[in-house]
Structure 1
Amino acid sequence: MLRHTIKEFIVRHLHQARLSPSEIAVAHHISVRYLHHLFRHEGTSVSRFIREQRLERCRADLADPLQAYRGVAEIGARWGLADAAVFSRAFKKTYGISPGVYRAARRAATDGAAEPAPAPGSG
């Protein structure tokens, strides 16, 4: 129950670049050591959970045509990854492709799917 509450708190505060285990522990009136203990039971860490959640939100925004007006670095900063180089390296390490290339590939896939199919007999 507490772990679920903490995860919800983290997700609500992902945009805060300074979100840290100590801030999370204080907000939940527990020690940082106990916070780490809760996440260790799932085979992860607090920092890894935060990074994974941030990167997933960034990935979703990069794929979202409604977010096309935002730059790649702006999307990273929006989710608490204020250093563009760190964001780009983490994204590439996680997804195997840079954020800009990922966005371009998603845009190309979406644009190709949005084109109407040729009429029968017109080709």
Structure 2
Amino acid sequence: MSDFQIPQNPTITDVLVYLVQMDGKLERVEAQATKTNGRVNSIEEWKTGLQAVAQYQEKHPNQQPQQINAPNATTVQVVTPSKWFQNEKLVAGVVAVLLALAGVLSFMVGQGVSQ
């Protein structure tokens, strides 16, 4: 493990030198492990995104492929672009405006008002 070998009857100095060397090696190992774990986490996040896209495409084979950019995601949600008429709130608003306009026009026709 180390270039330094503990003698058969080590002195306190021998043990301290060995511990200092071990500490230095442990710091280097920890730094490399942290770096590697960051890379692995990033790869796992991309894998999660790709799996989500694959599942979505499996369930919706007729739609265009989705693109996901999720570098720090733990959960990926695929949202498909919808048409305006697929938005319930927007449709409700358009219907309300049209009903109001129809009411105004019927009132005007009933009153005999012409333009």
> Shorter-chain TM-score: what band?
under 0.3
Flag the structure with more relative contact order, 1 or 2, with Cα contacts below 8 A and sequence separation at least 6.
1
Determine which structure has more spread, i.e. the larger CA radius of gyration.
2
TM-score, reference length from structure 2? 0.25
TM-score, reference length from structure 1? 0.24
